[in-house]
Each structure stands twice: as C-alpha cells, then as structure tokens.
C-alpha cells in the first residue's frame, strides 16, 4: 500500500462498493479508522484498521467483471429491501454491484463488478465513453426528430451533448450517447413530444450485448483496459 490512500478509495478497493457508495457510508457514520468515526477527507495508512458497522473490512477478493442482459422489471440497486433488486436476481456467488444503471423499464447491457476502484472511470462524463441504444417510440420517427435529438435537447437545466441518431424503422431509432443523465433518452423524447415504448442498451464502449440471452450474464475482461 502507498504511504496513504483516501478512505473511499481504500473501501472501494475491497470490492464491497463504489467510491460514491463509500462516501455515503462515511457521511452516515458507518466507517471507523482505528476506532474513530471517519469523516470525508480521511486517509488510510499502513497498519490502520478500518471497520464498517464495527466489522473489519476484508481483503480484496479476485476481481469480477460481468456483462449482464437486464430484463425489464429489475432495479439497478443492491438494496435488498427492494424486492426487484439486481443482486437477488443474478444471485452471483460474490458480492457485485452495477456500474451505472438502466431504469427499471429498460433492458439490455449492464456491467457489474466487485472492483469499486474502476467505477468512476466508466461513469465519468468527461471520458466520453460511448453507450448505444435501440429505442422504439409511440409515433413515426421524423427527419426533424432525428435532427433535433442529434443536435442536443434541453433537459434537467442543461443541454444534452450532440450525439449520433439513426432511424431504423418507422417508429424505432438507434442513438449513441457519450453522457449519462438520469432517464436521458426518455426525457429527450418527451421534450420533443414522443413517448418511449422500449429502450434497450446494446453497447458500452466496445463491449456489446450480442446474443446474450435476457437475464443471463457472461464474464468479460477487465474494464481497466479501456482507461490506459
């Protein structure tokens, strides 16, 4: 271990959560360093004992990276109070969590891992990682719709980045985003007077959904190779 590392990075490196989730645990007072309640900005040095809810954090397990074909109705949360949580659905033998999310009604490619240290690299908007979706809507896809979706739409107090949009059929289109606002495609369509009927993610970076069956997962190489 280096001379010291930030607490959220130390926790995420054990594979139990992302750095963002570790920050939430710090704010909730669930983490202690050598018996003292941790606060944001704390660093962990060699020999320090870090506990979560009084239990020592374990050693980092072997890294797991999965591509999962999420069905509609599954929630991208590890909170087991949600009866539709993704953890119970997959029932993977190691603790894993989703990288990013798809809303409950959406389907398609979702990445899961126990490598919390890599999550921020995948999600960081400034990296501009491509995510590709196939969408069907409730009315014909016009040239004007394609043009306006591709040039950016005002939602959530900002404007979406220009993106690639291609009509596939009378009421379907392909869209490639390099950002990930909350329910972005649905909000973009709503702004233009359309309602999304189905939304399926088919690619993240160079990782493709392919013919992976709905509800199934496959192991994939480390995400880290995309950030070097």
What the chain holds in terms of domains, given with CATH numbers, is 4-56 (3.10.290.10), 65-124+208-227 (3.30.70.580), 130-204 (3.30.70.1560)
Q: For position 117, what pLDDT does the model report?
A: 67
What span, in angstroms and rounded, lies between the C-alpha atoms of 173 and 141?
8
* 151, 141, 104, 99 alpha-carbon torsion, rounded to 10°: -40
Q: Give the confidence band of 12 by pLDDT, cuts at 50, 70, 90.
A: confident
User: Model-level pTM greater than 0.85?
Assistant: no
Contact 110, 70 (CB under 8 A): yes
pLDDT tens for each residue of 163-210: 999 999 999 999 999 998 999 999 999 999 999 999 999 999 889 999
53 pLDDT band, cuts 50/70/90, is confident
| Secondary structure (3-state) at 153 | coil
Catalytic (active site) residue 79: no
- Residues 6 or more apart whose CB falls under 8 angstroms from that of 154 comprise 160, 191
Q: Confidence band (pLDDT; 50, 70, 90) for 224?
A: low
Neighbouring residues of 27: CB distance < 8 A, sequence distance ≥ 6: 40
Catalytic residue among 48, 82, 103, 121: 103
Residue 21: pLDDT band with limits 50, 70, 90:
confident
Q: Any idea of the CA torsion for 12, 15, 21, 22, to the nearest 10 degrees?
A: -40
pLDDT digits (tens, 9 = 90+) for 93-127: 988 889 888 999 999 999 998 877 676 666 665 56
Element spanning 23, H or E: helix 19-27
Q: Report yes or no: 68 and 112 within 8 Å, Cβ to Cβ.
A: yes
- pLDDT for residue 119: 67
């Amino acid at each position: 271990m280096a001379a010291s590392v930030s607490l959220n990075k130390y926790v995420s490196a054990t594979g139990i959560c992302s750095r963002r989730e570790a920050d939430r645990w710090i704010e909730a007072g669930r983490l202690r360093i050598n018996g003292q309640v941790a606060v944001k900005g704390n660093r962990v040095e060699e020999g320090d004992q870090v506990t979560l809810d009084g239990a020592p954090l374990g050693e980092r397990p072997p890294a797991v990276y999965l591509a999962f074909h999420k069905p509609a109705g599954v929630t991208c949360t590890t909170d087991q109070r949600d009866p539709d949580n993704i953890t119970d659905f997959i029932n993977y033998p190691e603790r894993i969590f989703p990288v990013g999310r798809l809303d409950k009604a959406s389907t398609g490619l979702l990445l899961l891992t126990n490598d919390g240290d890599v999550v921020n690299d995948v999600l960081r908007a400034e990296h501009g990682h491509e995510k590709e979706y196939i969408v069907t809507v409730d009315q014909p896809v016009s040239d004007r719709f394609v043009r306006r979706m591709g040039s950016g739409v005002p939602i959530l107090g900002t404007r979406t980045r220009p993106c690639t949009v291609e009509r596939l059929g009378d009421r379907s289109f392909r869209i490639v985003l390099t950002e990930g606002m909350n329910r972005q495609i649905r909000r973009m369509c709503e702004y233009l007077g359309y309602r999304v009927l189905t939304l399926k993610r088919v690619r993240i970076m160079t990782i493709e959904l392919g013919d992976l069956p709905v509800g199934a997962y496959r192991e994939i190489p480390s995400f880290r190779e995309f950030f070097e």
